[in-house]
């Protein structure tokens, strides 16, 4: 009996020691569960305060990106070429690395992990696109209260170092025009160099857009390959849809193009397809853009300009205009840029001659 009392005394109660230990363990477990529940409640409260839709079904980033492409970007006016680039980035880069991560659990560290994983295997330009596409996709998720914040915006965007392209000189421009004289695609290259038109804008021109008598041309659409087929699409921005005066050299090239097309129509006879396009094949169908590039590569070699790209003609146009005193805002309108900063960031290197001329003008005015 004395032993039993001693055992009870050691437990501090009338219950056996094993019952007391079990009760303590149970109380500890309950306390841990309670802390977890309170933590979860606080997390939900913060999410609600940030505007997150708590009723939304949890989904992986892969699922959201599929919905985003098929149900949102495919119907919100996104250009087909842009949508195609989005799909490529999602399929080749975003899904393989982050596809299984829950959308609402995505963190800036996950985005940094994505960029680090792709930095060694893709070009800097592609890395910029990867970050940009994820940022746009998460912005749409944020607007729908599916995520509390856009974590891609919290990660510094990759930088794309500007590659200094060699500028076309006036003499080189003349050499190119000389070898292109009377070529089937002569007017394509002339409009690119003298008027700064993009390849798609040139190939998308209709004769209704061209007033040779009034020497005016309207850029309204572009020829692009969409889902494997050539289609005319509206230009990317409102500023891209622009009226332009036609220089004399360009007007004469367009007149030769019209005569050439009339000859093609006679040869084709009933096989001719009337599209109204300025640049057509021998039977009136749209010109394959890659064929224009191939012909340009042949002509540039003949002119001794193996480094020159077709898009560099547009670059040359801007450089010539700025170097010859045309004000930057006018150059912006000719190129169809949205902002003057866009023009100056790309072509400001052409201004030193004008700056020197301004300094000389001050000497003339005040020095003597």
The secondary structure of 108-163, three-state, reads HHHHHHHHHHHHCCCCHHHHHHHHHHHHHHHHHHHHCCCCCCCHHHHCCCCCCCCC
3-state secondary structure at position 217: strand
Burial of 58 (0-12, 13-18, 19+ CB in 10 A): exposed
Return d(Cα 87, Cα 253) in angstroms, integer: 39
CA distances from 8 to 27, 266, 293 (A): 21, 117, 97
CATH superfamily of 170-355: Intergrase catalytic core (1.10.443.10)
**Phi, psi for 101 (deg, rounded to 5):** -70, 135
CATH topology classification for 61-154: DNA polymerase; domain 1 (1.10.150)
The residue written with tokens 């340009």 in the block is: 296
Q: Where in the chain is the domain with CATH 1.10.150.130?
A: 61-154
Task: Give the helix ranges, DSSP H, for the chain.
Answer: 2-11, 17-49, 61-67, 80-89, 95-98, 108-119, 124-143, 170-180, 186-195, 199-203, 248-268, 289-302, 312-323, 328-335, 340-347, 352-366
CA distances from 154 to 157, 319, 362 (A): 9, 37, 48
pLDDT tens, N- to C-terminus, the chain (368 residues): 444 444 444 444 455 554 455 555 555 556 677 676 666 555 545 555 554 444 456 899 999 999 999 999 988 888 888 888 999 999 999 999 999 999 999 999 999 999 999 998 998 889 999 999 999 999 999 999 999 999 999 999 887 665 556 778 889 999 999 999 999 999 999 999 999 999 999 999 999 999 999 999 999 999 988 777 888 888 766 656 788 999 999 999 999 999 999 999 999 999 999 999 999 999 999 999 999 999 999 999 999 999 999 999 998 898 888 888 888 888 888 888 878 777 777 776 655 666 666 677 777 778 75
End-to-end CA distance of the chain: 126
Return d(Cα 29, Cα 38) in angstroms, integer: 14
pLDDT of 365 = 77
Q: Where in the chain is the domain with CATH 1.10.443.10?
A: 170-355
Nearest-CA neighbor of 139 among 124, 126, 154, 128?
154
Return d(Cα 365, Cα 121) in angstroms, integer: 58
For β-strands 242-245 and 216-219, DSSP reports them as antiparallel
Burial of 215 (0-12, 13-18, 19+ CB in 10 A): middle
Return d(Cα 61, Cα 147) in angstroms, integer: 11
pLDDT of 164 = 58
What would the two tokens of residue 153 be?
């915006």
Angle between helices 124-143 and 108-119 in degrees, nearest 10 = 160
Q: Are 80 and 74 in contact (CB under 8 A)?
A: no
Q: What angle do CA 131, 132, 138 make, to 5 degrees?
A: 90
DSSP 61: H
Return d(Cα 41, Cα 64) in angstroms, integer: 25
For the chain, the maximum distance between any two Cα atoms, rounded to a whole number of angstroms, is 126
């Amino acid at each position: 009996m004395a032993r039993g009392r001693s055992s009870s005394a050691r437990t501090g109660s009338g219950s056996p020691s094993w019952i007391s230990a079990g009760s303590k363990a149970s109380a500890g477990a309950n306390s841990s569960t309670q802390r977890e529940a309170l933590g979860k409640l606080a997390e939900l409260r913060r999410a609600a305060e940030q505007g997150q839709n708590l009723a939304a079904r949890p989904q992986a980033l892969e699922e959201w990106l599929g919905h985003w492409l098929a149900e949102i970007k495919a119907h919100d006016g996104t250009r087909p070429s842009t949508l195609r680039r989005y799909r490529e980035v999602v399929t080749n880069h975003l899904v393989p690395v982050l596809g299984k991560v829950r959308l609402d659990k995505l963190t800036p560290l996950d985005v940094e992990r994505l960029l680090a994983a792709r930095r060694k295997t893709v070009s800097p330009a592609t890395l910029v696109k990867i970050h940009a596409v994820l940022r746009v996709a998460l912005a749409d998720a944020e607007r729908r209260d599916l995520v509390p914040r856009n974590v891609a915006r919290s990660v510094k965007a990759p930088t794309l170092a500007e590659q200094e392209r060699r500028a076309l000189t006036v003499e080189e421009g003349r050499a190119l025009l000389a070898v292109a004289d009377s070529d089937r695609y002569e007017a394509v290259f002339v409009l690119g160099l003298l008027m700064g038109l993009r390849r798609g804008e040139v190939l998308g021109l209709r004769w209704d857009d061209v007033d040779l008598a009034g020497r005016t041309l309207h850029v309204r659409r572009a020829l692009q390959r969409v889902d494997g087929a050539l289609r005319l699409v509206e230009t990317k921005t409102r500023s891209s849809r622009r009226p332009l005066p036609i220089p004399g050299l360009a007007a004469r090239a367009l007149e030769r193009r019209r005569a050439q097309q009339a000859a093609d129509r006679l040869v084709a006879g009933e096989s001719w397809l009337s599209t109204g396009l300025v640049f057509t094949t021998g039977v009136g169908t749209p010109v394959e853009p890659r064929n224009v590039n191939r012909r340009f590569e042949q002509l540039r070699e003949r002119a001794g300009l193996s480094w020159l790209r077709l898009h560099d003609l547009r670059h040359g146009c801007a450089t010539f205009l700025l170097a010859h005193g045309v004000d930057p805002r006018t150059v912006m309108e000719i190129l169809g840029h949205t902002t003057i900063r866009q023009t100056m960031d790309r072509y400001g290197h052409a201004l030193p001659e004008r700056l020197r001329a301004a300094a000389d003008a001050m000497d003339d005015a005040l020095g003597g």
